[in-house]
Amino acid sequence: MAVISDKVNLYGHDNRLDSARATVMSASDYYPFGLEMKGRQFSGASYRFGYMNFEKDDEIKGFGNHISWGDYGYDPRVVVRWSPDKLAAKYPWQSPYSVMGNNPILHKELDGEDYAVYINHETKTIIVKATYYTAKGNTDAYNSAVKATQFWNEQSGKYQYTVGKRDAAVTYDVKFELTVTEVANPVAEINIDRLPPEVASNSGVTQLTPDQSSNTYSVLSDADKVFENGEEGTSREGFTNTGALVKIKDSRKTTETGAHEVGHTLGLGHFFKGILTKANNDPNRSKTITKGYIKDIIGNIFGRTNNNAGKGTIHETGTAPKKFSEGKVTKKK
């Protein structure tokens, strides 16, 4: 399920949510999966948010009984979502309708994205953006993340996206703008980015990546348990959890493994060629991408792919040509 498995107390992050003057908008006691305890809740009439700060809709099933969670919808009384999880294929041991990895103590359900696609129909550009948080002072993680994102940024201008045919064709240049930012607590920061804007504003915190395209990037010991149980019983060289939390083995921090894992945060699964082959020793592994990569990155924002990796949002300027979502990717000559 789309959860952050790292233990994080968002409201204890550097006291950033403390305030000298506080107005109580809502107060509730919950059972573990979000059902409000009878007689132990208060909510102002204008306050729209409930369990885990997700928007609720009391008109559907009554007070506190329906939480939006984007397109999913969730009923805390029966602990199931309305529609199946888009990442269900990554977790075959769980029901596609389960939430929080069936462990609300350790896990937080995400309703955010991992990268953003900015389309300007006036300048004819498509820019893929994402931010990667590393822990402040962790030089190894920062340098590895810079190297990994640089690989993708260097793909800018190599591919085009064309809509229409012949004289009516409209062509867009595809670019990448991935950045690395040092913060005190990367996981807490990504949780702040995923707060509803109204909650962040009322709490007095600043969302460093308001479009929710933030991820975390860390370098861990080769012996860390997160790298166990890879393909066919082998250990992983890197691991991306929930399409947003990148973890790289210390021994692989200067290799192409970082770029591979960053690819997963851009909505990409594994491919038979290029940087995203399953294994680093695959004879088809190379420090390249293909037009199939670009096709999936863009197609993901239109719901055309099912690769169970990161999710993307679309931000458009200007008027799109007809059938824009049906465009084709070509390599620039």
Which architecture, in CATH terms, is 115-331? 3-Layer(aba) Sandwich (3.40)
- Residue 100 is predicted with a pLDDT of 65
Instruction: Give the model's pLDDT for residue 235.
Output: 74
Name the residue ranges covered by the structural domains of the chain.
1-16+24-110, 115-331
Provide, rounded to the nearest whole percent, the portion of the chain with pLDDT above 70: 63
DSSP 144-178: HHHHHHHHHHTTTTSEEEEES-GGG-EEEEEEEEE
From 96-100, 118-122, 147-151, the region with the lowest mean pLDDT:
96-100
What letter does residue 172 receive in the DSSP assignment?
E
How many whole angstroms separate alpha carbon 74 and alpha carbon 332? 45
| Cβ-contact 164, 212 below 8 angstroms | no
Closest listed residue to residue 149, CA positions, set 263, 270, 293, 297: 263
Lowest-pLDDT range of 31-40, 198-207, 245-254, 308-317 = 31-40
pLDDT one-digit tens code per residue, 169-191: 999 999 999 999 999 999 888 88
Which conformational region is residue 164 in: left (phi greater than 0), alpha (psi within -120 to 50 degrees), or beta? Answer: left
Q: Which residue has the higher pLDDT, 81 or 91?
A: 81
